[in-house]
Amino acid sequence: MKQNEELRMAGEYDSLVILNKKYYRIAENKRYEEGKALCYVNLAELNISLENYQKSQFFLNAAENILKDSKNNIHLARFYNIYSRLSSEMRRRDKAIEYNSKALEFIQAAGESELKRNILFNIYLRQATYLVGKKQPDKALIFFNKARTVDDSGMADCAISDYIYMHKNKDSTYKYITLAYNKALKNGKEDGVALYTNTIMGEYYIADKQYDKAEEVLKKALRINLKIKGIYAYYLKFIYNDLRVVYENKGEKEKAYFYLKAYTEAYNKTNTSLLSTINQDMESFITETKTDTEKHKSKIQWVIFLSFAGFSLLAIYAWRIINTLRKRKADLKSEAEDLKNKINDNRQEEIIEMARTNDPRFLSSFKEVYPGYIDQLLAINPSLENSELIFCAMLKLHFSSKEIANYTEVQHRTIQQKKYRIRKKLNIPTETDIYHFLML
């Protein structure tokens, strides 16, 4: 576990896979099933960091089958802690909190050890993050501080400063991020903690309008991210967006556009080449772990083969199978449509919430939900600015003038003036309702 964590933080994913393959074979030779489960959990965590959720789910399912009757509190705590993280990434916040609470229950029942402290730190930190998402800031701060008492690496200080930054308390933010930053410098490693520290420090400098310093630490964060092979794939889009803000405020429009484009691309897709590499390593591991299952399947096939003595019975069986598959195919198509509708509903709610909170990701997320819409506006008038495109997007979502004024913290009169300018830029006739026109 210690080696696994060191490799994960350093972004050495190939070595991490090799390590877990090695210990999987040892566990198999010793017939130690729970050892196999721990390897599954380690690889599930790696895939979450890579935003490769499907493979993560595969490994967690395999681990769950082994650990369902386990009496080992450490193993169960580790499993539920990682499962809670996957649930959070999939936006299942209630399930994330439920699994994390189970992890906490199991780890508290375990005997004292270094491993217990490491797992406890992660449980506290994630529980705090989930509570922030559930808009329970007071409870979140309790768990942040609990995490800080367990681990002094600077990760908890970063998380607390990030949390306080969201609540606009710059003085307290600076206190905690400086603590974390100094610890990272003293440590001298360019790992996940250093990446997190430089990213949050950059966001602090942006809030404090120190754009040159923000540029320096965010560029360092980019370099660290590249060095550790993008193991923290989800950080990259935030760094790009922060740099976009820096260059917008410095008046360097070309650089701002470059990072806006990079942010949009990072947000819309994962790093294909990285995923293909890790998937190749994973496939060999999956193949190896399926050996027992394949042997079992082989026996079943022999039983089936010997059970059908004549061609007529085989034909009847095949006919039934085909009919079953057809029915299943129809059911899957229906389920897929239902899932698609649910996803669209969730995405719609998500971008509405982003608009309400003035989230910088709003426009790029809006483009995902309404592909081609912004292009249609720009086809009418290519000189439309980002702020005007955001305004049009909010009108498209049926926000009233009063709501837009409240969410963007401007006067109602300013919103009316914006509407007038948009009418002129898009050549909207005075007799045409602007909301109706923007339905396109």
- Indicate whether 323 belongs to any domain: no
Structure tokens at 252: 């360097």
State the pLDDT at residue 273: 38
The arithmetic mean of pLDDT across residues 207-224, rounded, is 88
Residue 107 binned pLDDT confidence (cut-offs 50, 70, 90):
very high
Most confidently modeled range among 226-235, 305-314, 395-404: 395-404
Neighbours of 231 (CB within 10 A): 24
Identify which has the larger pLDDT, 309 or 52.
Answer: 52
Average pLDDT over residues 142-165: 73
Q: So what's the pLDDT on residue 338?
A: 42
Of 241, 269, 297, at which residue does a domain stop? Answer: 269
H or E element that contains 219? helix 211-227
Share of the chain above pLDDT 90, in %: 22
192-207 and 233-249 are packed helices; what angle lies between their axes, rounded to 10 degrees? Answer: 30
What was the pLDDT predicted at 234?
58
pLDDT recorded at residue 191: 75
pLDDT value of position 311 = 47
What's the CATH code of the domain at 405? 1.10.10
pLDDT at 36 over 90: yes
* Residue 40 or 89, more confident: 40
40 confidence band (pLDDT: 50, 70, 90): very high
pLDDT at 343: 42
List, for residues 45-56, the tens digit of each pLDDT value: 988 877 788 888
CA distance 201 to 191: 15
Please say which residue of 269, 300, 330 terminates a domain.
269
Domain residue limits at 178: 166-269
The DSSP H or E segment spanning 337 is helix 311-356
Would the pTM count as exceeding 0.75?
no
The token duo for 254 is: 């070309």
Q: Could you tell me the CA-to-CA distances from 232 to 9, 49, 56 in Å, in that order?
A: 9, 5, 15
Tell me the pLDDT of the chain averaged across its residues.
79
CA distance 166 to 178: 17
> What confidence score (pLDDT) does residue 260 get?
80
Question: What Cα–Cα distance (Å) separates residue 27 from each residue in 44, 80, 297, 312?
Answer: 18, 21, 23, 47
Q: Is residue 430 part of a domain?
A: yes
Q: 120 lies in a domain?
A: no
Does the pLDDT of residue 317 top 50, yes or no?
no
CA-based nearest residue to 129, from 146, 114, 113, 105: 146
Q: Tell me, yes or no, whether 183 lies in a domain.
A: yes
Top-confidence residue, 53 or 325: 53
263 near 240, Cβ under 8 Å? yes
In a domain, 428, yes or no: yes
The pLDDT, as a whole number, for residue 177 is 74
pLDDT of residue 89: 81
Helix axes 53-67, 272-289, angle to 10 degrees: 30
| Segment 351-405, tens digit of pLDDT | 988 888 888 889 988 998 888 889 999 999 999 998 999 999 999 988 888 889 8
Residue with tokens 């003595």: 309
Rounded alpha-carbon distances, angstroms, from residue 2 to 111, 271, 398, 432: 18, 27, 52, 66
The pLDDT-based confidence of 60 (bands split at 50, 70, 90) is very high
Pick the range with the lowest mean pLDDT from 76-85, 218-227, 380-389. Answer: 218-227
Question: Are 157 and 127 within 8 A, CB to CB?
Answer: no
**Selection from 246, 267, 439, 420 nearest residue 354 by Cα:** 267
Does some domain include residue 424?
yes
Identify whether the C-beta of residue 199 lies closer than 8 Å to the C-beta of residue 221. Answer: yes
What is the average pLDDT across 321-342?
47
Which domain CATH number covers 264? 1.25.40
Cβ burial, residue 332 (10 Å; 0-12/13-18/19+): exposed
| Spatial separation of the C-alpha atoms in residues 44 and 54, rounded to whole Å | 9
Which residue type is seen at 60?
L
In a domain, 331, yes or no: no
Does 49 fall in a domain? no
**Residue range 181-202: mean pLDDT, rounded:** 78
Of 11, 79, 90, 70, the residue nearest 44 (C-alpha): 79
Q: How confident is the model at residue 341 (pLDDT cuts 50, 70, 90)?
A: very low
Number of folded domains in the chain? 2
Residues 177, 141: Cα–Cα separation, whole Å? 15
**pLDDT single digits (tens) 243-294:** 888 998 988 888 888 888 777 776 565 444 345 545 555 565 666 666 555 5
Find the radius of gyration of the CA atoms of the chain.
26
Residues 357 and 265 in one domain: no
Last residue of a domain, one of 247, 269, 291: 269
Residue 139 has pLDDT above 50, yes or no: yes
More confident residue, 27 or 168: 27
**With contact defined as beta carbons under 8 Å apart, do 124 and 150 qualify?**
yes
Instruction: Report whether 377 contacts 411 (CB < 8 A).
Output: no
Q: Reply yes or no on whether the pLDDT at 80 is more than 90.
A: yes
Q: What DSSP string runs through 292-335? A: HHHHHHHHHHHHHHHH--SHHHHHHHHHHHHHHHHHHHHHHHHH
Element (H, E) at 133: helix 114-133
Task: Give the closest residue to 366 by CA, choosing from 379, 378, 355.
Answer: 355
